[in-house]
């Protein structure tokens, strides 16, 4: 298993591993800074490939923060391997995530973040947004890198296959096709539409992201607000939610 590394925004490195058994990419994002930050660990079986990829950018033992959206193995399965490899590393996730899952699973306690909490990694400032059930799971949250306006958006804009690192044209179309195509598969119904979904996606759009760092598929450089609002309409349409 090998990974490719691409700088998709200033100091933000996309580490992409294509898994042919799933037919999708698993992408981690490394922020190179005084206190390096890794968004998602990938599965435990991907740890070696991810560590090698991180080592092309910085010393993996320097890793300080390990963020992820929600407690699933592709998001944080290799957390304990990273905590062992990097002595100063600590998980950062939602209060719900830390309380319900991570502090029992992990060998060291997580830093539980409140909604809208901001922390600095050096030159870069990260804002945590609690986003329950977006993209899915009660504990879900997302990180917004405010310095360069990159939204680390986890499973939002999921696209299958092995696309290029960065799309500057359209990721809503491929994401829409993926949602439609996935409706009849064994992994259908991954994103619920709850009473909070609209407001959550609108709040993300209001951040004005210039880059959307996507966990599965191409990242997007362009008008992230428009893409998020378009995604909200797509999800409503496909799930049959009436327009308000
Ligand atoms: Fe997920
Ligand atoms: Fe995922």
Instruction: Give the residue-averaged pLDDT of 17-43.
Output: 97
**Pairing assessment for the beta strands 211-213 and 150-152 based on DSSP bridges:** parallel
Q: What separation in Å is there between the alpha carbon of 71 and the centre of ligand 2?
A: 10
Q: How many CB atoms lie within 10 A of CB 75?
A: 26
Kindly report the pTM of this predicted structure. 0.97
Mean pLDDT, the chain, whole residue set: 96
How close is the Cα of 215 to the center of ligand 2, in Å?
6
Which pLDDT score is estimated for 244?
Answer: 64
Cα 95 from Cα 38, distance rounded (Å): 19
Q: pLDDT tens digits, residue range 137-192?
A: 999 999 999 999 999 999 999 999 999 999 999 999 999 999 999 888 888 889 99
- Ligand with an atom nearest the CA of residue 71: 1
Instruction: Write out pLDDT tens, residues 73-93.
Output: 999 999 999 999 999 999 999
Kindly list the protein residues that place their beta carbon closer than 5 angstroms to ligand 2, a single-atom ion.
Answer: 74, 155, 215
- What is the distance in A from the centroid of ligand 1 to the CA of 139? 11
152 close to 39: Cβ distance less than 8 angstroms: yes
How many whole angstroms from 94 Cα to the centroid of ligand 1? Answer: 15
Of the ligands numbered here, which is closest to the C-alpha atom of 22? 2
Q: What per-residue confidence (pLDDT) applies to 189? A: 87
CB 147 within 8 A of CB 209: no
Counting ligands in written order, the one closest to the CA of 157 is 2
* pLDDT surpassing 90 at residue 243: no
Is residue 216 scored above 90 in pLDDT? yes
Of 35, 15, 11, whose CA–CA distance to 25 is shortest?
A: 15
Give 147 Cα–ligand 2 centroid separation in angstroms. Answer: 24
The pLDDT, as a whole number, for residue 240 is 87
Task: Determine the Cα–Cα distance for residues 45 and 33; give it in Å rounded to an integer.
Answer: 26
Give the number of whichever ligand sits closest to the CA of residue 72: 1
Question: Does 62 score more than 90 pLDDT?
Answer: yes
Q: What is the predicted pLDDT for the residue at 241? A: 87
Q: How many CA atoms lie within 13 A of 218 on its CB side?
A: 17
Give the separation between CA 232 and CA 199, rounded to whole angstroms.
10
**Which of 53-62, 132-141, 180-189 shows the lowest mean pLDDT across its residues?**
180-189
Q: What are phi and psi of 29, to 5 degrees?
A: -125, 125
Measured in Å, residue 124 CA sits from the centre of ligand 2 at 24
Higher-confidence position of 207 and 182: 207
CA 155 to centroid of ligand 1, rounded, Å: 6
CA of 28 from ligand 1 middle (Å) equals 13
Task: Kindly list the protein residues that place their beta carbon closer than 5 angstroms to ligand 1, a single-atom ion.
Answer: 72, 155
């Amino acid at each position: 298993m090998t990974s490719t590394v691409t700088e998709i925004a200033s100091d933000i490195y996309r580490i992409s591993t294509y898994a042919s058994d799933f037919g999708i990419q698993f992408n981690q994002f490394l922020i190179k800074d005084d206190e390096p930050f890794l968004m998602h660990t990938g599965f435990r079986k991907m740890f070696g490939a991810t560590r090698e990829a991180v080592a092309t950018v910085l010393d993996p033992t320097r890793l300080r923060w390990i963020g992820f959206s929600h407690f699933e193995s592709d998001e944080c399965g290799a957390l304990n391997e990273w905590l062992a490899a990097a002595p100063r590393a600590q998980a950062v996730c939602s209060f719900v995530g830390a309380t319900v899952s991570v502090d029992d699973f992990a060998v060291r306690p997580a830093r539980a973040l409140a909604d809208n909490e901001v922390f600095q990694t050096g030159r870069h400032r990260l804002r945590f947004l609690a986003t329950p059930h977006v993209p899915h799971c009660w504990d879900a949250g997302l990180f917004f890198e405010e310095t360069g306006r990159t939204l680390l958006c986890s499973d939002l804009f999921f696209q299958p296959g092995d696309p290029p690192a960065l799309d500057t044209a359209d990721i809503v179309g491929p994401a829409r096709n993926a949602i439609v195509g996935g409706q009849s598969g064994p992994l259908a119904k991954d994103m619920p539409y709850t009473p909070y979904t609209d407001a959550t996606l609108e709040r993300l759009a209001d951040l004005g992201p210039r880059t959307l760092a996507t966990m599965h598929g191409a990242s997007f450089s362009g008008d992230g607000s428009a893409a998020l609002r378009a995604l909200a309409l797509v999800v409503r349409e496909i799930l049959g939610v009436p327009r308000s």
